[in-house]
Chain A
Amino acid sequence: MSTISKQEVEHVAHLARLNLTEEEKEQFTKQLDSILNFAQKLNELDTENVEPTSHVLPLVNVMRDDVPHESLPVEEALQNTAEHQDGQVKVPSVLEE
């Protein structure tokens, strides 16, 4: 039985903000299925009372003093945008008309 269906691949692609071609959908369904099947191996282990490790260093809430620093000039901050106007980043319309 397959772990992931083509419909699920389409749904995940939407969540990941990707448009997939038909060919990519077929290919990813097959490849993700084999990777996820392989990942089932993790279920052989009993992890009932094991704490998850998200990070190896014992760090919690690293804080610094709230001191103002020099920041990037607006022109530099906008230098890599595809489109900008009046010191603002410009994007296509967000709301449908």
Chain B
Amino acid sequence: MSVFDLRIQEIHEQLRRKQLSVSELVDESFKRIKEVDSQLNAFITLDEEGARAKAEELDNLSNTDETGLLFGLPVGIKDNISTRGVKTTCASKILANFVPVYNATVVDKLNEAQAVMVGKMNMDEFAMGSSNENSAFRAVRNPWNTDHVPGGSSGGSAASVAAGEVFFALGSDTGGSIRQPAAFCGVVGLKPTYGRVSRFGLVAYASSLDQIGPITKNVEDAAYVLQVIAGYDQHDSTSANVDVPDYLSALTGDVSGLKIAVPKEYIGEGIHPEVREKVLEALKVLESLGATWEEVSLPHSDYVIPAYYIIASSEASSNLARYDGVRYGVRADQADNLLEMYKETRSQGFGAEVKRRIMLGTYSLSSGYYDAYYKKAQQVRTLIKQDFEQLFEKYDVIIGPTTPTTAWKIGEKIDDPLTMYVEDILTCPVNLAGVPAISVPCGFDQKGLPVGLQIIGKAFDEATILRVAHAYEQHTDHHKARPQL
């Protein structure tokens, strides 16, 4: 058993008793990376020197200085989160040489909590993708079966946690990019409420949807990480000035009287029977603990994917206008005037999926099409958000699968963007509504690939989804299974 199979509490106990040092933890991380990462490609950049120096510094502290909630824990950070002095590429050629001059707020918070950054995680370019095949550098592979995708866009983060290369990781979730890879890799992934965690220093994809969140091996660890990264930040005017509760004390194990809504659209046609079966089994576990569930409807589910892709692409086309070869990033050098420099830089720097979304967004926002596409999608977003608000008047949580199927094979969907987009049907509505959701392992299909259970909560009520996920997890062993590499 690896030391990384322990919970944060257990590792801290060993550190306190001096049975283990932070340097040993960091050694464990790099040893495992050297053993297995050539099979996974989970990392873009390693910071071995920085991590070892930090470990030594933490090992030399007196006991009274060891107060950080994440003391000594090796963490991987998705490569769209700014790390001062450490390359942050967004898995794009256009930022291949970019070294940020400041830290994202979440990175400062992890530092204050005394976590140790090991490196930067591979992802779909600019967080656009559901399979991690859109990384400009190399595709990430699923640790449960390396012929399959790990999910995306935080695929490196999820694969790395599942494989025991890092203790936990940060990802970002715009339409499912934390929860879907967590489900595909058999780990826990939490997308907080929009505004719960500062986006300062997160490279923007779709600003009204993006959120940073933790990927961990169990729910309790996710509560620890959320505790550290949540909260208002004056550098992000869209971060919410809402009190952050004590998430650890929310993990009571008690779900008696809990009212669960199960949308029929989430367990019906289009959902793989094996996935449906695992979700229904999980609901039985919660029932046995005193919760009740009813089948309900989210009537606008069919409109989620078109609304999401119009809105996200529109915001992306605007956000990615900044990559023009002027202030940062790789500049094409064969242009002799400014306009051609912009065009050549962007054409050489962006991959196909990023160009496709920039094109779709530019079209949707262009004169003559704005009302028909962008505004229409925003109006439909209102209807989707209202669907959720209505259910939450009567129910505490909404439960369904995280994804319609388990991880597909590498290459299977890459040539047809639309077939890949529709796979996001269960995760995107959560971002459009702005509410929090967690994916937890709930079993394996016949091929041995993990299935994720999604628990969706009310805005700013992460405590409840953590409590439900934790109660479920106490009565199953799915989260303890580890891939053989």
Give the B-binding residues of A (Cβ under 8 A): 4, 8-9, 12-13, 15-20, 24, 28, 31-32, 34-36, 38-39, 41-45, 47, 50-57, 59, 62, 64, 72, 76-77, 79-83, 89, 91-94, 96
In the complex, what distance in Å separates the CA atom of A19 from the CA atom of B341? 11
- B307 contact set on A, CB distance < 8 A: 42
- B335 contact set on A, CB distance < 8 A: 92
Listed residue (A12, A55, A56) with the most chain B CB atoms within 10 angstroms of its CB: A56
Partner of A17, one of B329, B343, B356, B376: B343
Q: Shortest CB–CB separation between residue A73 and chain B, in angstroms?
A: 9
CB–CB A89/B326 < 8 A: yes
4 more contacts with CB within 8 A, not counting A42-B307, A53-B378, are A28-B359, A35-B421, A50-B382, A57-B434
Given A41-B306, A93-B336, A64-B234 contact (CB < 8 Å) = yes
1/0 per residue B211-243: CB within 8 Å of A? 000000000000000000000001001101000
Q: List 21 A-B contacts (CB under 8 A).
A: A8-B363, A9-B359, A17-B321, A17-B343, A18-B355, A20-B355, A35-B360, A35-B421, A36-B373, A45-B380, A56-B434, A57-B238, A79-B99, A82-B330, A83-B331, A89-B326, A91-B338, A91-B341, A92-B340, A92-B341, A93-B337
In the complex, what distance in Å separates the CA atom of A42 from the CA atom of B381? 10
The 9 closest A-B pairs by CB, nearest first: A56-B434, A52-B378, A82-B331, A80-B328, A47-B379, A62-B237, A39-B306, A50-B379, A16-B362
CB–CB A38/B418 < 8 A: yes
Q: Shortest CB–CB separation between residue A61 and chain B, in angstroms?
A: 9
CB–CB A45/B383 < 8 A: yes
- Chain B residue at minimum C-beta to C-beta distance from A80: B328
Query: How many chain B residues touch the partner (CB < 8 A)?
Result: 71
In the complex, what distance in Å separates the CA atom of A12 from the CA atom of B309? 17
CB–CB A51/B240 < 8 A: no
- B362 contact set on A, CB distance < 8 A: 12, 15-16
In the complex, what distance in Å separates the CA atom of A69 from the CA atom of B449? 51
CB–CB B373/A53 < 8 A: no
1/0 per residue B356-367: CB within 8 Å of A? 101110110010
CB–CB A53/B240 < 8 A: no
Is B417 located at the chain interface by the 8 A CB criterion? yes
- A94 contact set on B, CB distance < 8 A: 337-338
Q: Shortest CB–CB separation between residue B50 and chain A, in angstroms?
A: 18
CB–CB A47/B380 < 8 A: yes
CB–CB A13/B359 < 8 A: yes
CB–CB B356/A32 < 8 A: yes
- Chain A residue at minimum C-beta to C-beta distance from B195: A57
Is B302 located at the chain interface by the 8 A CB criterion? yes
- A19 contact set on B, CB distance < 8 A: 343-344, 347
Q: Shortest CB–CB separation between residue B350 and chain A, in angstroms?
A: 8
CB–CB A81/B383 < 8 A: no
- A91 contact set on B, CB distance < 8 A: 326, 338, 341
In the complex, what distance in Å separates the CA atom of A28 from the CA atom of B194? 32
In the complex, what distance in Å separates the CA atom of A77 from the CA atom of B100? 10
Q: Shortest CB–CB separation between residue A88 and chain B, in angstroms?
A: 11
Given A39-B309, A41-B306, A57-B194, A80-B327 contact (CB < 8 Å) = yes
- A80 contact set on B, CB distance < 8 A: 97-99, 101, 327-329
In the complex, what distance in Å separates the CA atom of A63 from the CA atom of B316? 25
Listed residue (A8, A55, A72) with the most chain B CB atoms within 10 angstroms of its CB: A55
Given A54-B208, A94-B338, A16-B385 contact (CB < 8 Å) = no
CB–CB B366/A20 < 8 A: no
- Chain A residue at minimum C-beta to C-beta distance from B417: A31
Is B303 located at the chain interface by the 8 A CB criterion? yes
Q: Shortest CB–CB separation between residue B242 and chain A, in angstroms?
A: 10
CB–CB B347/A20 < 8 A: yes
Given A16-B317, A18-B355, A35-B418, A51-B379 contact (CB < 8 Å) = yes
- A36 contact set on B, CB distance < 8 A: 360, 363, 373
Given A19-B344, A62-B237, A51-B382 contact (CB < 8 Å) = yes
Is B342 located at the chain interface by the 8 A CB criterion? yes
Given A17-B324, A39-B310, A92-B341, A28-B356 contact (CB < 8 Å) = yes
Q: Shortest CB–CB separation between residue A70 and chain B, in angstroms?
A: 12
- B179 contact set on A, CB distance < 8 A: none
Given A20-B347, A35-B417, A59-B237, A76-B355 contact (CB < 8 Å) = no
CB–CB B306/A81 < 8 A: no
CB–CB B359/A34 < 8 A: no
Is B377 located at the chain interface by the 8 A CB criterion? yes
- A13 contact set on B, CB distance < 8 A: 359
Listed residue (B300, B331, B355, B379) with the most chain A CB atoms within 10 angstroms of its CB: B379
In the complex, what distance in Å separates the CA atom of A24 from the CA atom of B348? 13
In the complex, what distance in Å separates the CA atom of A79 from the CA atom of B379? 42
- Chain A residue at minimum C-beta to C-beta distance from B236: A62
CB–CB B358/A42 < 8 A: no
CB–CB B101/A77 < 8 A: yes
In the complex, what distance in Å separates the CA atom of A94 from the CA atom of B346? 17
1/0 per residue B301-335: CB within 8 Å of A? 01101110110000001000100111111110101
Q: Shortest CB–CB separation between residue B98 and chain A, in angstroms?
A: 6
- B339 contact set on A, CB distance < 8 A: 17
- Chain B residue at minimum C-beta to C-beta distance from A27: B352
CB–CB A34/B418 < 8 A: yes
- A52 contact set on B, CB distance < 8 A: 375, 378-379, 381-382
